[in-house]
Structure 1
Amino acid sequence: LNESDFIYVSSFDPARRIGYNFTFEHFNDQNQLDYKISASNIRWVPKDSLYRLTSYMKRKIRANNEIIEKKRRLDTLFIFNIEDLTPVSYVAETKNLFELNEFIEVQKNKGASNINTYILVKYRRWALPITAFILTVIGVAVSSVKRRGGMGVNLAFGIGVAFIYIFFDKVFGTLAEQSGFSPLLAVIIPNVVFGILGFYLLKNAKR
């Protein structure tokens, strides 16, 4: 959420607005764990505008001692919205371009470490028409060449090219999400490589 507060859930049900295996950690100015809240699930209760924790436990760290507080159920407030528990890829893919741009700015202000995930989704939307055009050119070029074995060979070759493109896209996408690799280059490189391939195949097809 910020430099001091972190939240985690193992899974989230957006329809029921419930997060499972919830954890909230707060760190002090010395970057040491001040307290930790855990619960089997967290549910947003719109009627009362609060969160309901089941099997609640709070562990406070004080010098060399720990203070444990347990309750079967606790109604409380937090500084985050329930939508913050939604998986990041799901959030990005369900927003339109304007909402996504605004969402990226909010996450940057929060100091989110996985900001490249959202930026990658944004660039892929811009690149999608170009990708479709390139793969269409490759498909036309491949289908126009007569090979021994008939159309089955052309079909197999085309499917093979499509799988290789998906492989390239996934590899560079993972690099952008998990490392400091540029999301823009992760989108551009597969299109450039297969754009060159499409131009080469189309040129040979004309011959």
Structure 2
Amino acid sequence: MKILDWYILKRYLTTFLFTLLILIPIAVAIDISEKIDKFLRDETLTFFIIVNDYYKNFIIYYANTFMPLALFIAVIVFTSRLANNTEIVAINNSQISFTRFLFPYFIGATIVTVLALYMNHYVVPSSSKTRKKFENTYLKKSKYKDQMISDFSLQLNDSTYMFVQTYNLKNNNGHKFSTEVYDGLKLKYKLIADRITWRDSVFSLLNWKERKIFDDRDSISSGNRIDKKFLFTPKDFNYKSAMAQEMPSPELAEFIRISRKRGVKNLNAYLVELYKRTSLPLASYILTLIAVALAHRKRRGGIGVNLALGIAIMFVYVFFLKVAEVLGAVAGANSLLNVWMPNMIFGAYGIYLYINARK
């Protein structure tokens, strides 16, 4: 790398970190002002618990969230300064093409992308689990906001199915439970119970009836109570998109695979979470290209005009991003296409700006 490359790369990374370090304290200050009364209300909370269990993970989450915004603003700011100081004019006079000028920018974007990929797939899900546990324990009025599950069914493997009419996640008991085993299309076994409870890793069935079907006869038995172990736990009843944010990507991918095998109908919310962990970091290249193409020329009004234009573009990008996530989570939608659509649209816009900048 040449001296110019090191100069641009250094400015790229330092301005990015500086912008990120400005945004994070603002987010922390706003959050403290909103939750200070809840912190003071609980006498068991200590300063160490708040910082270690909540704000450490809060900073990790929002640092990762603000990365695209901080990157975009940073590139616009320091590239506009290069243009205003006529440094880019000197670079052009040295017969350095716009494509070659982009080289150190994309080295910086690669560093940020690799960091963001690691955080998205591993660090942020683990920290989110600790942060949400803190929120459920100390900040939310009810830990079981969605505690009642109704008409829930699972395909446990190729031949075994289960159904429960209602299940309360708070006290771990349900009503009208049944499980069936098939040999092809032929029913071979059925177990039903009026009530089902979960205690010490074992399900207790109350008022149960069991039927085993043989070629020449049926065997039927019943009783008041029986303890059994199944291939599921109450955790499997709770399919919420918020759970996806707490799973590292390998665990999330395995969860999706098992859930598909079990016949869960709509897993798009989980697929959106998995896909965007890759699409957002790779957007660093697109945002860098757009920012450089917008800011490499000196404009009347200086950095302010470029910054205002950049913030407007970033606002549109975030809007597209949120709309794509909502549409991708709808049953029957193509989650992969929806998640990548904002990158495809703004990637095309970035290529358009790049072609004009080369001219």
Structure 1-normalised TM-score?
A: 0.63
Quick one: percent identity of the two aligned structures?
A: 35
For residues 152 and 145 of structure 1, the distance between their equivalents in structure 2, rounded to whole angstroms, comes to 13
For residues 345 and 280 of structure 2, the distance between their equivalents in structure 1, rounded to whole angstroms, comes to 15
Equivalent in the alignment of 1:185: 337
Tell me if structure 1 keeps the 8 A contact 2:271–2:335.
Answer: yes
Q: How does 1:162-181 map to 2 (within 5 A)?
A: 162-181=314-333
Which amino acid in the other structure matches residue 327 of structure 2? Answer: L
Higher share of residues assigned helix: 2
Give the superposition deviation at 1:200.
1.9
Give the superposition deviation at 1:154.
0.7
Equivalent in the alignment of 2:300: 148
Equivalent in the alignment of 2:267: 115
Tell me if structure 1 keeps the 8 A contact 2:169–2:234.
Answer: no
For residues 195 and 136 of structure 1, the distance between their equivalents in structure 2, rounded to whole angstroms, comes to 11
Tell me if structure 2 keeps the 8 A contact 1:172–1:186.
Answer: yes
For residues 91 and 40 of structure 1, the distance between their equivalents in structure 2, rounded to whole angstroms, comes to 15
Give the superposition deviation at 1:131.
0.9
Q: How does 1:9-20 map to 2 (within 5 A)?
A: 19-20=144-145
Could you tell which deviates more after superposition, 129-138 or 195-204?
Answer: 195-204
For residues 183 and 102 of structure 1, the distance between their equivalents in structure 2, rounded to whole angstroms, comes to 17
Number of positions where the alignment pairs a residue of Structure 1 with one of Structure 2: 165
For residues 92 and 149 of structure 1, the distance between their equivalents in structure 2, rounded to whole angstroms, comes to 45
Give the secondary structure class of the aligned counterpart of 1:149. coil
Pick one of 155, 167, 170 that aligns with 1:41: 170
Give the superposition deviation at 1:151.
1.0
What whole-Å deviation, never above 9, does each CA across 1:95-120 have from its counterpart, x for those lacking one? 22221221111111222222111122
Are residues 1:22 and 2:174 paired? no
Which amino acid in the other structure matches residue 19 of structure 1? Answer: Y
Higher relative contact order (CA 8 A, sep 6+): 2
Give the secondary structure class of the aligned counterpart of 2:264. coil
Give the superposition deviation at 1:126.
2.5
In structure 1, runs of 5+ residues without a counterpart are: 1-12, 28-33, 52-75
Higher share of residues assigned strand: 1
Give the secondary structure class of the aligned counterpart of 2:247. coil
Give the superposition deviation at 1:179.
3.9
Give the superposition deviation at 1:164.
0.9
Equivalent in the alignment of 1:63: none
Inter-CA distance 148–82: structure 2 relative to 1 (3 Å threshold) = farther
What whole-Å deviation, never above 9, does each CA across 1:122-141 have from its counterpart, x for those lacking one? 22222233211101111222
Tell me if structure 1 keeps the 8 A contact 2:149–2:237.
Answer: no
For residues 186 and 26 of structure 1, the distance between their equivalents in structure 2, rounded to whole angstroms, comes to 28
Q: How does 1:57-68 map to 2 (within 5 A)?
A: none
For residues 173 and 24 of structure 1, the distance between their equivalents in structure 2, rounded to whole angstroms, comes to 26
Give the superposition deviation at 1:194.
0.5
For residues 181 and 49 of structure 1, the distance between their equivalents in structure 2, rounded to whole angstroms, comes to 37
For residues 249 and 144 of structure 2, the distance between their equivalents in structure 1, rounded to whole angstroms, comes to 27
Tell me if structure 2 keeps the 8 A contact 1:19–1:42.
Answer: no
Structure 2-normalised TM-score?
A: 0.39
Equivalent in the alignment of 1:157: 309
Equivalent in the alignment of 1:94: 246
Higher gyration radius (CA): 2
Tell me if structure 2 keeps the 8 A contact 1:175–1:181.
Answer: yes
Give the secondary structure class of the aligned counterpart of 1:41. coil
Which amino acid in the other structure matches residue 256 of structure 2? Answer: I
Inter-CA distance 193–35: structure 2 relative to 1 (3 Å threshold) = closer
Could you tell which deviates more after superposition, 88-97 or 159-168?
Answer: 88-97
For residues 180 and 132 of structure 1, the distance between their equivalents in structure 2, rounded to whole angstroms, comes to 29
What whole-Å deviation, never above 9, does each CA across 1:78-109 have from its counterpart, x for those lacking one? 96534336563232222222212211111112
Which amino acid in the other structure matches residue 149 of structure 1? Answer: G
Pick one of 197, 204, 207 that aligns with 2:356: 204
Inter-CA distance 111–139: structure 2 relative to 1 (3 Å threshold) = same
Cα root mean square deviation, aligned: 3.7
What whole-Å deviation, never above 9, does each CA across 1:47-97 have from its counterpart, x for those lacking one? 84469xxxxxxxxxxxxxxxxxxxxxxxx9896534336563232222222
